[in-house]
Structure 1
């Protein structure tokens, strides 16, 4: 048995042991696709009182992003900023490589907390994704009420979520959703049951299914 003091701890995806690549629900039909969003760099930013302008300048200089002033997501290159409340945002990077170092540019102008290992994210798409989300989401996700680029903090099945709408794909609407890592299993229990009616393909990386 390995000595607990010398054992090597390997990082695992928030979805490891939860997502299993393949098809669930209605056979012969795929109206929804779910993909794990592993490897994101995630940090919360909170501006000090009267400090939003300084933070916005620093984020623009370091990441090329304009912080959204309303519930929305802004993108630039491999980074995005998602409104998370008055004076608060989530900063996202497509890769964690160099992310911690890049955050140093915001030192002194915001309270910065890296959340890369503390959140679990999914990309949901397809012509029936709104119908599945409507089973537990109290928001009106109709395209007129929730257009591309809009974001929201809400609850689904009594679990707090951060939700935003990405650019549509050929198969239909695309939503990205993020929950606290500790709620990943509970959220998946609800979501997998909700999408089964419509037929769903799951795309999971090796890390998501426990191979990394």
Structure 2
């Protein structure tokens, strides 16, 4: 994805501040599977400093960590780059002998940032979700498709409009090209000219 960094930066400049595209590489991503109301869930909540979200498609946050609800017994814990081994070890220690699975999946996906006032409009070109903040705002997440690629979409908070787009590494380059194309109406066709 490093070859997209310059194109992302140029598109961001050309948008006049309406849009920011970037990769947030190497975020820690640890998948957690366990009984949501069992002792392992309580132990994980104590270790993270906040309980795992139990409502579908929601996010819980504390400090530099976020826990994304992916399914009735599945979460993705996201943290700063390079902290995956520490997060995984802390969670495994907290769970102890309880029935659960904790797996580092950091290499499975990368995270693209689509931010700014036009972020939702750009994503709407390829996503069927209603991305308006009243329907899909801070504290929400969804596994969905964006331009036919499976992603986990996470709105940022109200002070920083935009989204994290967690995409499998094998689709990252394709999705980056698609985002640049979808953003071209806000960047005066800059990326179309760059090709």
* Residue range with higher mean Cα deviation, 97-106 or 37-46: 97-106
Q: Whole-Å Cα distance in 1 between the matches of residues 184 and 63 of structure 2?
A: 34
> Which residue, 29, 42, 50 being the options, matches 2:29?
42
Alignment of 1:159-174 (within 5 A): 159-169=149-159, 173-174=161-162
Report the CA distance between 1:25 and its aligned residue.
Answer: 7.8
1:17 paired with 2:3, answer yes
- Residue 210 of structure 1 is matched in structure 2 by none
Q: Whole-Å Cα distance in 1 between the matches of residues 81 and 40 of structure 2?
A: 22
1:158 paired with 2:148, answer yes
- Residue 123 of structure 2 is matched in structure 1 by 133
Moved >3 Å (runs of 4+)? 25-28, 106-109
- Residue 207 of structure 1 is matched in structure 2 by none
Is contact 2:19–2:114 with CA below 8 Å preserved after alignment?
A: yes
- Residue 63 of structure 1 is matched in structure 2 by 48
Q: Whole-Å Cα distance in 1 between the matches of residues 51 and 13 of structure 2?
A: 42
> Which residue, 180, 190, 195 being the options, matches 2:168?
180
Report the CA distance between 1:51 and its aligned residue.
Answer: 5.6
Is contact 1:40–1:92 with CA below 8 Å preserved after alignment?
A: yes
Q: Whole-Å Cα distance in 1 between the matches of residues 99 and 31 of structure 2?
A: 13
Report the CA distance between 1:87 and its aligned residue.
Answer: 1.0
Deviations 1:168-205 (A, max 9, x none): 23xx62211101111101111111111121139xxxxx
Report the CA distance between 1:45 and its aligned residue.
Answer: 1.1
Report the CA distance between 1:26 and its aligned residue.
Answer: 8.5
* Structure 1: gaps spanning 5 or more residues: 1-14, 201-212
- Residue 95 of structure 1 is matched in structure 2 by 81
- Residue 20 of structure 2 is matched in structure 1 by 33
With a CA cutoff of 8 Å and minimum separation of 6, indicate the structure with the bigger relative contact order: 1
Q: Whole-Å Cα distance in 2 between the matches of residues 46 and 161 of structure 1?
A: 19
Report the CA distance between 1:89 and its aligned residue.
Answer: 0.6
The structure with more helix, counted as a fraction of residues: 2
Alignment of 1:102-141 (within 5 A): 102-105=90-93, 106=95, 108-141=98-131
Call closer, same or farther: CA 1:132–1:34 in 2, change over 3 Å.
Answer: same
Deviations 1:27-83 (A, max 9, x none): 462311123222311111112xx5642232121121112111121111011211001
TM-score (structure 2 length as normaliser): 0.83
Corresponding pairs, count? 182
Report the CA distance between 1:127 and its aligned residue.
Answer: 0.8
Report the CA distance between 1:131 and its aligned residue.
Answer: 0.8
